[in-house]
Amino acid sequence: MKTGIFVALAALALTVFAVPDAHARGGHPGQNVDQRIFGSILAIDVTDDTPSLTTSLLTAIAKGQPGKAQVTATLVFETEFVYNPTGGCPDGFPLESNVISFEWAEIYSDGSVLSGVATEGQLFCLDLALTRTVGSLTGTIVGATGRFEGAIGSPWSTEASAPVGSNTVTGTITVDVD
């Protein structure tokens, strides 16, 4: 597990220097974010210590407003999904799991960083055929530097989906900078 963490940190450090310059469109700091996310998600901790929880690491590229960024995130959710067809999941996804935590950060080539945490009590969803997962999460910005200075406390939302048995993930992220 330590090797995986070091590899992820090395990849993150590399992207700070390797991702092309992403200047904010419109020329002012604190701009709203509206991006598409493309990347991979990997379960990194399903152990006997916490058999009821799964921890996953996401690495992705975000493209759109205000530019291109490297994204990293951790998702911790309950491993067991519960059948609840009238619950909080979208149509076609009647199996739900409680999200314990979701934290993410975007790093831009100019050194700007934007990070957020999810609000408690949200769901991670699975279809009946056990072939696709979806998540629609909201939260608050907890870290902001560079062009995003002053964005702490702003609301964010993300929607993402991933096929079961594959590590690919796609989605969107929006931040309404106050």
CATH number of 2-175: 2.40.160
**What pLDDT, in 10s, does the model give residues 129-175?**
999 999 999 999 999 999 999 999 999 999 999 998 888 999 999 99
In DSSP terms, 54 is beta-bridged to: 77
Cβ(51)–Cβ(17) under 8 Å? no
pLDDT tens-digit map of 66-86: 999 999 999 999 988 999 877
Q: What percent of the chain has pLDDT over 90?
A: 62
pTM: 0.77
Q: Locate all alpha helices (DSSP H) within 19-126, ordered by sequence.
A: none
